[in-house]
Structure 1
Amino acid sequence: MAGAPDHLFNLRNNFYLGAYQAAINTSDLPNLSPDDAVERDSLVYRSYIALASYQLVIHEIDDAAATPLQAVKLLALYLSSPENKESTISSLKEWLADSAIANNAILRLIAGIIFMHEEDYNEALKHTNAGGTMELHALNVQIFLKMHRSDYAEKQLRIMQQIDEDHTLTQLATAWLNLAVGGSKIQEAYLIFQDFSEKYPMTGLILNGKAVCCMHMGNFDEAETLLLEALNKDAKDPETLANLVVCSLHIGKSSSRYLSQLKLSHPDHVLVKRASSAEDNFERAVQSVA
């Protein structure tokens, strides 16, 4: 129906910008269509997942729930413990092989997210590359940037700009691409996050975005201030901790506490893996000359 109000706009926007508790708190929306109600529930449960409340999602979504919610439950199972990963991926592949549900946009999105976590980018793209929703296009941008293919990421961004240039996800994807390209584009990325911070309540995602831009521009003191504000909002956020490790090293402060927190709360984080690998290499080098 043309011109119909978008009842989920604020809920979606909160979710995209990392205001997960706000998304949950404002989700009691009356008179939603059945499809909108499923989308609303998907966003609420994904917000709980972003807050690491995996068990709540696993317990609340039962076998009778709609396909998108079942897909969200799979993501909660996948992230809840390393022991669940293999069986979850096996279930996911079974569902993707079922032609009746394989084309569901949320199922394809969750598949993309899980395979991106697995660093199996080609498999992720099999399910996301056809697009169909702004979230799928935005995920494609992220996947291509992880593959160091900013040229393909830019093509996806152009599609998003043609659909809706002012969409929050289009703006976010523009900032991600600008950060990847670097140079004069960093300032443009900073202005996007600055614009978000003036329009919406400050979230860890916005603060981290601004901080990374500041670090690229050499403004490490400003970056540290932003990151400490983000840490006050969520002391376990992996991106905040990882960025604080990098920032602290640049301004000559000890980063060991942030790295320890990151190791405890997110042992699989890429920075933790790199640090462990560097420590192992150093130990081997010491032993070879001892």
Structure 2
Amino acid sequence: MFVGQNSITIDRTFQCLLFDLGHTLWYRDERDLSQLEREANQRAIDILRQTQQSSPLLSENDSEAGRLLRDMLLKQFKIEIEKDPYIEPLGSTMVQQVLHASGWQNADPALGQAIFDALQVNIARSRRLFADTISTLQKLQTRGFQMGIVTNRYWGGVPFREDLQRMGLLTYLDYGKMAISADLHIRKPNPDIFLHALNACNADVKTTMMVGDSLIADVAGSQQLGIFAVWKPQNYAEIQAHMEANEGISVAEYNQRQMDLFKKEGLAASLAQRIGEDEYPAMECFARGHIRPQLIIDNLSELLSWL
């Protein structure tokens, strides 16, 4: 049974937990990330210079050219995702578009893929697991929960799997039960990416919980299917201050109210129907009540007192 911090028992048995990765299980080490990005940028520029084609991009020194290339690629991803937030663009195609815009005459798919692969940054060296990540996953595994991952990422594939192995996550999380947008070419809040993870875990929406830091991608995305959503916001202190100042309740009181509401009414479908219709930032969506998670947590280990 689902037992809350305030001895609230919910009439639902949870068997599966789905997790986001960034800002949920790990955070970025900005210092190491910057260095690794410079190294990856150099690899990409080396490949471009070997083509012996002229381009305004290569008129810059290697360091600046690499930085510009990465910035242009990330901007191109953003443009395409804004057109269709449910689809993960193909990395090699994004590189081709950037190169064409930079004056490349023969930016074929093979070159696009080579550059995209070169720009991939080692996750194991640039991310750090939160202090309670491994201990929480270990306890959840011991308690017999199915666990999977649903994550939006531009890069995936074998290098990403190897990074997860080096970080120790594959001891607790089966790679075959991970829905990675870069590999599936669909992205949260597309319900299909959650369904992929559910099918891989052989789990039902009624017995599944999603945990993530994005109010729209993770919370509203999973709520579309009737999945119980737990929000682990990066700006937890801001959320707490907002509720105390504007709603007169603490996060703990909010959680208790949500559990009471959930026990009476289940998941309110209307909360998830606003996806793609709101132009408000996530914080404003929360403040206006358009998207509300079932629980809000600051640390992953808090799950253990609810499950």
**Does TM, normalized by the shorter one, top 0.5?**
no
Which structure's residues are more often helix, by fraction? 1
Which structure's residues are more often strand, by fraction? 2
**RCO (CA 8 Å, sep 6+): is it higher in 1 or 2?**
2
Of the two, which has the highest radius of gyration?
2
